[in-house]
Structure 1
Amino acid sequence: MQSFQILKNDSEQRLDSFLKKLFPQASLSFIFKSIRTGKIKVITLDEQKTKQKPEYKLSTGETVNVYLGETEIQSLRENIKDNVVVSQDKKLHKKDIIFEDEYLLILNKNPGINVHPGDHKSEEVSLIEQVQDYYAQKLDSLTFSPSLAHRIDRDTSGVIVIAKQKQALVQIVQDFKEKNALKKMYFTVVIGKLSHQSGTIKKSLARREKAHNENKIHISESGQEAITHYKVLDEYILQLPEGEVTLSAVEVQIETGRMHQIRVHMAHIGNPILGDKTYGDKKLNSYFEKNYYIQRQMLHAWKLELMHPIKKKALKIQAPLKADMQKFIDSIKK
């Protein structure tokens, strides 16, 4: 027999849901049978040892007793990692932390890293794995680990929000979905002079099926609504061997959070993001990569205004430009 105490981040979920996370190798039918036959019991807060139904909601301080052999319990928990271990050179740096309290961690994400391990086929470390390694045993829970509240692209830098507690995650995901007191601002460098100093792009976006080397997302009337507001902050005129080229620094605010939204919308109006390998200008990208060492798209999640999911206080977050982007801006200003 083994006992599992319900901690705060494990509470307020169904017994069967908790058990499925605790025992990833167990089938639902096995879990239901174990509950029904009394092999799994709950010691409630009044210290009553009872059989419960699968839909029973667990509370902090209760204990789940599992009347199975130790070897069987170990095999049912086989896929659970005690800790994510990240090599020293790939660990999360404290300098990238913009804000932290007991509920939230807000980072200034580096470019060239996926936020989630499922985003890429290689064995490289993802941002969420860095976070889990950073906290190790500091956040007690049997079934919950720090989780992303939203995503940004691999080669986009800037603000990313991570929930450290389940109740914060549930609320902030809802806030992002319903746009509650939420404002997302990006900084980008695009190719060309914009036809207007400010404006709004309203073009629906759809995913292109079976797109291998093609653009994944495209403008489509049958797609999802996407709204992007932009404002030109500065313009830079550069002399290239082929002639004069204008680059524009642009502040972008998005009302919707569609995949590749800013990248597709800016390309659609004839001002693709510099360094964008999917939707950008390949010839100019190649020139700036060779001469200015631009290795990624010049897009940065710059500012975020949101309501704290638990404390209900307004948060205004700003992420400084990453060194590669700041160095490039400084070089073209000269």
Structure 2
Amino acid sequence: MRIEISANEAGQRLDKFLRKLLKDVPLSAIFKALRKGDIRVNGKKQKEKYALEIDDVVEIRYIQSKAKSEKKENFIKVDPKSIKIVFEDENVLIVEKWPGVLVHPDAKGKEATLTDYVLSYLNAKGDYIPENEVTFTPAPCNRLDRNTSGMVIFGKNFESLRELNSIIRENEVKKYYLALVKGRVKDGMMKGYIKKNEDANISKIYDKQIPDSKEIKMEVKTIESCGSFSLIEVNLITGRSHQIRAHMAHVGNPIIGDSKYGDRKLNSFFDNKYGLTFQYLYAYKLNFRDVDGKLEYLKNKTITHSLPPIFKKIKRDVFRFEI
């Protein structure tokens, strides 16, 4: 097997590239082949930490991989016309996620995800041709719960995906949400500890650290309040699973429409009046801060997206008069 390294493979460690390329080959067999010289780069043995460069030639001998021989689309093909683009250039794609769709596949992997819609969109416009790629697939850099809506960032090439993941990990991208919650909220920094029950898919918040819990932080600011309800902006600093939803419920301000952590009576009212069957939580703003490298042009750029029509109507009604 002979592979020429393109821009979407360059920069990766050799062992990580091989693990993605030879998915069905045991890692021990890959390392053994590297030691024996059965895997060479530009005709020479290389260490597993070698950083691949454009136009490198990787030669693999004596290893058979079904993953490589089965060159087929690695996503569920759907009609991408319904996808809403918030921002796009040659490196980055930001799309609006709608309630009810997963960002990544679950264990069953049978339903189309937001990633499938994005890959179908990029494939239709010729920006992503699976059979032309060795290991790279455009991928999301942030995630939202199934019934949370708003902006999700995708990297369209390997270098951009790597840089996006890096700046998000280093908190150089501020992520802001709008949420409608019960009651008045105390503005400021909210801290605590979160522990998730994976079997029940429920997160619990604690004021003090307990075993296996993780620290959480978010900054909350009231945008509008009528006493019974408040529209808040959340600057999410640590992005733990269900963090905003569980923490707001913990402090007595559950998000309207949240079937898992919310107020059942209020949820029933908003369902009957507006057909709201998901939480009023929307990832509406991204602020790119200290960005360099390939994505330096995004430095200090803010991208926002308006609330969906159902959220706008509820907001208009709630603050016109108290329900």
Per-residue deviation at 1:280? 0.5
Identity %, equivalent residues:
34
State how far apart, in whole Å, the 2-side matches of 1:188 and 1:218 are: 19
Per-residue deviation at 1:80? 6.3
Per-residue deviation at 1:122? 6.1
Per-residue deviation at 1:306? 0.7
Q: Please say if 1:138 is aligned against 2:116.
A: no
Q: Report the TM-score when normalising by structure 2.
A: 0.84
Q: Please say if 1:57 is aligned against 2:51.
A: yes
| Counterpart residue identity of residue 178, structure 1 | E
| Aligned 1:247-266 pairs, distance under 5 A | 247-266=229-248
Which of 123-132 and 30-39 deviates more?
30-39
Partners of 1:158 and 1:301 within 8 A in 2 = yes
Determine the structure 2 residue equivalent to 1:321. Answer: 307
Determine the structure 2 residue equivalent to 1:296. Answer: 278
Per-residue deviation at 1:21? 1.2
Aligned length in residues: 308
Gaps of 5+ in 2: none
Per-residue deviation at 1:37? 4.7
| Aligned 1:1-334 pairs, distance under 5 A | 2-43=1-42, 49-68=43-62, 72-73=64-65, 75-77=66-68, 81-88=72-79, 91=80, 93=82, 96-118=84-106, 121=108, 123-136=110-123, 138-139=127-128, 141-180=133-172, 182-192=173-183, 194=184, 196=186, 199-209=187-197, 212=200, 215-222=202-209, 223-236=213-226, 246-307=228-289, 308=291, 310-312=294-296, 313-332=299-318
State how far apart, in whole Å, the 1-side matches of 2:36 and 2:238 are: 49
What SS does the aligned partner of 2:312 have? helix
Q: Give a deviation string over 1:282-304, Cα, whole Å, max 9, x none.
A: 12212221222111000001111
Q: Give a deviation string over 1:245-278, Cα, whole Å, max 9, x none.
A: x222222222322222221222222211001111
Q: Give a deviation string over 1:151-173, Cα, whole Å, max 9, x none.
A: 12111111211112222222222
Determine the structure 2 residue equivalent to 1:243. Answer: none
Gaps of 5+ in 1: 44-48, 238-245
Q: Give a deviation string over 1:48-70, Cα, whole Å, max 9, x none.
A: x334344433211122233459x
Which of 166-175 and 147-156 deviates more?
166-175
Per-residue deviation at 1:201? 4.4
Q: Compare CA radii of gyration and give the structure with the larger one.
A: 1
State how far apart, in whole Å, the 2-side matches of 1:328 and 1:195 are: 19
State how far apart, in whole Å, the 2-side matches of 1:79 and 1:188 are: 45
Partners of 1:217 and 1:259 within 8 A in 2 = no
State how far apart, in whole Å, the 2-side matches of 1:21 and 1:290 are: 48
Determine the structure 2 residue equivalent to 1:242. Answer: none
